Structure 1
């Protein structure tokens, strides 16, 4: 299951499908052909109950923005929203009553939007060279829904101008005062067991494409720690690492932390533990023997 927020866009599956659509669109692809390819290539998402709706939402928004909205797609989205099936999924995942209300408002506004007439199609963007949003070791602070501060650490930077990923680990910081560098050095990694997660470390390669548009105001860089270990974005399975990374364009570290801490109010925290030091510092030679 991906990162979740009540907004239509606050979901890994949505962000990935939407980003993929415009990658092809900006290269000259035709919306109808792109849409068909996305449905064929992402069949796994359509088999995941809690994520499949986000694929249809992302596709509908992308088609609406390019004035190519397929009547079958908008009919599908309308059926999902008016039937309440999306809200039922949220209920089954343990969403709070407040989140359900926010989600319903977001769904209704989304349906109203894509049923309106867009004046003109979104122009294609020329391909730009990308740069990573953050540097290795950057410590990021964000506000949690409980009013406390949470945090994340950048473990690696991909300097390929066509991808420019950042590998980011979410921490278990959850405190009333803004975290210090020492707090980051001594904290644990966020291990998720909310919803369908099963003790998975929240470590993700984030694409830079949507950061400044949708997420820049959420995260604040407050300093840097040293990262002695190296991580390769070609290592998709995390072979040799203490975690298996995820991949997304949705910078949802704050949502993952919110959901996990909320879950722990009624459910035991994961027994598995992992520290930031374990992901940033090389093992001392005398500890090997």
Structure 2
């Protein structure tokens, strides 16, 4: 589901739609035109049983923020929530009873919010441009949930963009001592192992994804740059289109989020691949 919490906005798909909507809104496009554009260009998301709810929640919240919530959009969201369609999806993802109760509360609270008229429409903000947080080749360390030091390697950086990002590879560094550059040279990328919700098979992929600059200010832990290793610039994002919240960094290996997802250290992909 791409969710890291029970809140309506604690979801990758929701955030992507919300951010694109607000970006267009800040460029002075009309709310109705933005909505039509996003519906037309997110057919795969809308037609997905697993992800469509997040799309409509984002659209509804954006329209509400702009004080232009359409009745048809509200009715769709109301049906999703009152029919418990969304809770059914969470149960299918093996969320426990406590989590389901919290999610139900969050959904009902969101629906109540939509029925309350906003005093003023969201203010349009002039677009600013930024650099990504880190530079390619940076070796990052931070404290894992188990108290050890973890490590991640920055593969790309971006300059002067509205929403810059770093592609980062999460490594298998998990040790009591603060890592040094040689630890990164000898490290491997960890993999995420998960059960495909539809095909019911176990899949896996290297834990490399993009981390957004604008989300960095919300993290609740420290990330330190140990140093920088020259990269050969052979990394290409290609099909690596997964975006992650910064909080993912501090999860240690073999830590399951739900019963169908875990981080594993299989030592198949070495960081050396991208070093000069």
TM over 0.5: yes
Q: Partner of 1:35: helix, strand, or coil?
A: helix
CA distance 1:54–1:172, shift in 2 (3 Å):
farther
| Match of residue 230 from structure 1 | 233
Q: Does the alignment pair 1:216 with 2:250?
A: no
| Match of residue 49 from structure 1 | 49
Confirm or deny: 8 A CA contact 1:139 1:225 kept in the other structure: no
Confirm or deny: 8 A CA contact 2:141 2:225 kept in the other structure: yes
> What are the equivalent positions in structure 2 for 1:23-42 lying under 5 Å apart?
23-42=23-42
Confirm or deny: 8 A CA contact 1:206 1:247 kept in the other structure: no
CA distance in 2, matches of 1:194, 1:105: 27
Match of 1:203 among 171, 194, 208: 208
CA distance 1:84–1:245, shift in 2 (3 Å):
same
Confirm or deny: 8 A CA contact 1:154 1:167 kept in the other structure: yes
> What are the equivalent positions in structure 2 for 1:84-95 lying under 5 Å apart?
84-95=84-95
Confirm or deny: 8 A CA contact 1:135 1:154 kept in the other structure: yes
Residue segments in structure 2 that go unaligned for 5+ positions in a row:
197-201
Q: Does the alignment pair 1:75 with 2:75?
A: yes
| Match of residue 240 from structure 1 | none
Residue segments in structure 1 that go unaligned for 5+ positions in a row:
238-243, 283-289
Aligned residue pairs: how many?
269
Q: Partner of 1:166: helix, strand, or coil?
A: strand
Compare 99-108 and 6-15 and name the one that shifted more.
99-108
CA distance in 2, matches of 1:117, 1:268: 42
Q: Partner of 1:199: helix, strand, or coil?
A: strand
CA distance 1:278–1:30, shift in 2 (3 Å):
same
Q: Partner of 1:158: helix, strand, or coil?
A: coil
1:119-148 Cα distance to aligned partner (Å, 9 max, x none): 11111110112221222214153654x777
> What are the equivalent positions in structure 2 for 1:99-110 lying under 5 Å apart?
99-110=99-110
CA distance in 1, matches of 2:8, 2:79: 16
Q: TM-score, normalised by structure 1?
A: 0.77
CA distance 1:256–1:83, shift in 2 (3 Å):
farther
Q: TM-score, normalised by structure 2?
A: 0.80
CA distance 1:194–1:94, shift in 2 (3 Å):
farther
Q: How far apart are 1:190 and its partner, in Å?
A: 2.9
Q: How far apart are 1:216 and its partner, in Å?
A: 3.0
- Taking only aligned residues, the RMSD between alpha carbons, in angstroms, comes to 3.3
CA distance 1:266–1:247, shift in 2 (3 Å):
closer
- Higher normalized contact order (CA 8 Å, seq sep 6+, divided by chain length): 1
Q: Partner of 1:73: helix, strand, or coil?
A: helix
Match of 2:241 among 238, 246, 252: 246
1:172-196 Cα distance to aligned partner (Å, 9 max, x none): 4566x58534655544323122243
Q: Does the alignment pair 1:133 with 2:156?
A: no
| Match of residue 19 from structure 2 | 19
Q: Which has the higher strand share?
A: 2
CA distance in 2, matches of 1:132, 1:116: 37
| Match of residue 241 from structure 1 | none
1:260-279 Cα distance to aligned partner (Å, 9 max, x none): 72169788976964345245
CA distance in 2, matches of 1:221, 1:75: 47
